[in-house]
Chains A and B, each alone.
Chain A
Amino acid sequence: MVSPQIVMYEEEFNQISALCDRLCREANGKVVFLVDKNGQLIASAGQVGNLDTTSLASLTAGNIAATGGLAKLIGEKEFSILFHEGERDNLHISIVGGRVILVVIFDGRSSLGLVRLRVKRASVELAGIFEHLMRKMEDPAMGSPFAEITDEDIDNLFND
C-alpha cells in the first residue's frame, strides 16, 4: 500500500503537544492545532473548549487539498501558507514537512507578522519530530496494536 498508516506514540505526542502549547503562547494565539493531510486531528492547544476540532480538522485538510489542486493547475507544487482574515479571528494555515498541517487561530491581540515568525520556528522543530516518528513507524519491531485483535473483538463492536 502506498500510504502506510500513521501511528502516534506517547513520546512524540507529548513533544508535539508541548510544542503546540508553546507556539500558542508565544504567538499570542487563541488556538493551535495540527492535522494530518487526510483530515485527522493530531494535537491541539489553547482555548479549544467550545471548538469542534474534528470538523475543523476535516475542513482544514479539505482546504489544503483544494488549494493544492489549484496550485498544480497553475504550475506550483503547493501553497505552503494560507491566511484567512475574519472580522475578529484569523486563520493561519501552513504545511509542515510536506505532510502535516499546522493551524493557528488568532485575533487582534496578535499579528500576522508575529504568528508567521513563531510558526516558522515551530515548523522546523515539528518537522524534526515527524521525521523521527516516520522512522519509528517503519521499524518492524514496533508492531501494530491491532495484530492481535480477533474477529470476535470486531464483532463485539457491532453487537450493542
Chain B
Amino acid sequence: MSFINYSSREINCKIVYYGPGLCGKTTNLQYIYAKTNPEAKGKMISLATETERTLFFDFLPLSLGEIRGFKTRFHLYTVPGQVFYDASRKLILKGVDGVVFVADSQIERMEANLESMENLRVNLAEQGYDLKAIPYVIQYNKRDLPNAASIEELHRLLNPGNISEFQSIAATGWGVFDTLKAVAKLVLQELKKGR
C-alpha cells in the first residue's frame, strides 16, 4: 500500500524480497546499501539471529529521486526464509506494493524454491492479493555456482506466467540493481493506474 504525502511531497512504497532460506535476499539488500549514496539511503536494519539468519526482517529505506515534484521513497524488506517463520512472513507482506522472488539457482534448492513460491502465493491470497495482479519480478540468483540449473529449467518451473526475470550473483552485485529497477518501475506504473 503506497503512502502519498501531499504535505511533505513524498511517496512511499513497500517492496518485499521473498524466497527460500539462504537464497540471497539479505545479500541483495546489503549490496544495494553498499552501492547507494549516503544521502539516498537510511540505515539498514537487520533483525537476525546470532548465526546471521534473518529472524524477522531486514529493512532498507531508499530514495530514488523525484517524479513531478514528489520524492519517491522505497522501503525494501526481506522475509526470513526458513519454513518455520511463516507468521513473520505474513506480517511483512502486509501492505506490500511489489514483490521480488529470489530463487536459488542450485538444482538441489529447486524444491525449496517451489515451496517458497507457493507459500508466497498463499500468504498473499490470505490478504486478498493475487500474485498475478501485483508488481512482481523473479530473480535467479547464484548464477556463479557450478550446480546452478539452466535458465530454461528455472523458467519452466518458476515462471510459467512469463513475468520479468533476471539472473544475478548477489554476492558480487551482478543483476541486483536491474532487479530492483524493474520492480520499482512496475510499482510506479501501478500507481499511475490509480488503485
Which A residues contact B (CB, under 8 angstroms)?
1-10, 13-14, 36-40, 42, 52, 54-55, 58-59, 62, 65-66, 68-69, 144-149, 151, 153-158, 160
Q: Select from chain A the residue with minimum beta-carbon distance to B11.
A: A146
Contact of A10 with B7 at beta-carbon distance under 8 Å, contacts A2-B127, A40-B12, A149-B192 already known: yes
Q: Would you call A154 and B189 a contact (CB within 8 A)?
A: yes
Chain A residues within an 8 Å CB radius of B42: 52, 54-55
- Chain B contact residue count (CB 8 A cutoff): 47
CB-defined interface of B41-70 with A at 8 Å, one 1/0 digit per residue? 011010100000000110101001111101
Q: Would you call B191 and A144 a contact (CB within 8 A)?
A: yes
Is B195 an interface residue when CB atoms closer than 8 A count as contact? yes
Q: Would you call B4 and A145 a contact (CB within 8 A)?
A: yes
List 29 A–B pairs whose Cβ atoms lie within 8 Å, in order of A's numbering: A3-B128, A5-B195, A6-B1, A6-B2, A6-B4, A7-B3, A36-B3, A38-B1, A38-B95, A40-B12, A40-B14, A42-B3, A62-B56, A65-B91, A65-B92, A66-B56, A68-B91, A69-B91, A144-B191, A144-B195, A146-B192, A149-B68, A151-B189, A153-B67, A154-B189, A155-B185, A157-B66, A157-B188, A158-B181
Minimum C-beta distance from B129 to chain A (A): 7
Contact of A38 with B3 at beta-carbon distance under 8 Å, contacts A65-B91, A66-B91, A144-B194 already known: yes
Minimum C-beta distance from A74 to chain B (A): 14
| Residues of A contacting B: mostly | mixed
A54 to B63 CA separation, bound complex (whole angstroms): 12
| Residues of B contacting A: mostly | mixed
A9 to B7 CA separation, bound complex (whole angstroms): 6
Q: Select from chain B the residue with minimum beta-carbon distance to A153.
A: B67
Q: Select from chain B the residue with minimum beta-carbon distance to A3.
A: B1
Which B residues contact A (CB, under 8 angstroms)?
1-8, 11-12, 14, 42-43, 45, 47, 56-57, 59, 61, 64-68, 70, 72, 75, 87-88, 90-92, 94-95, 127-129, 133, 181, 184-185, 188-189, 191-192, 194-195
If A10-B7, A62-B92, A156-B67 are given as contacts, then 10 extra A-B residue pairs at C-beta distance below 8 Å, sorted by A number, are: A2-B128, A5-B4, A7-B3, A8-B5, A38-B3, A39-B14, A65-B91, A146-B70, A149-B191, A158-B181
Among all A-B residue pairs, the 9 with the closest Cβ atoms: A2-B128, A38-B95, A13-B7, A65-B91, A146-B191, A8-B5, A5-B2, A54-B42, A3-B1
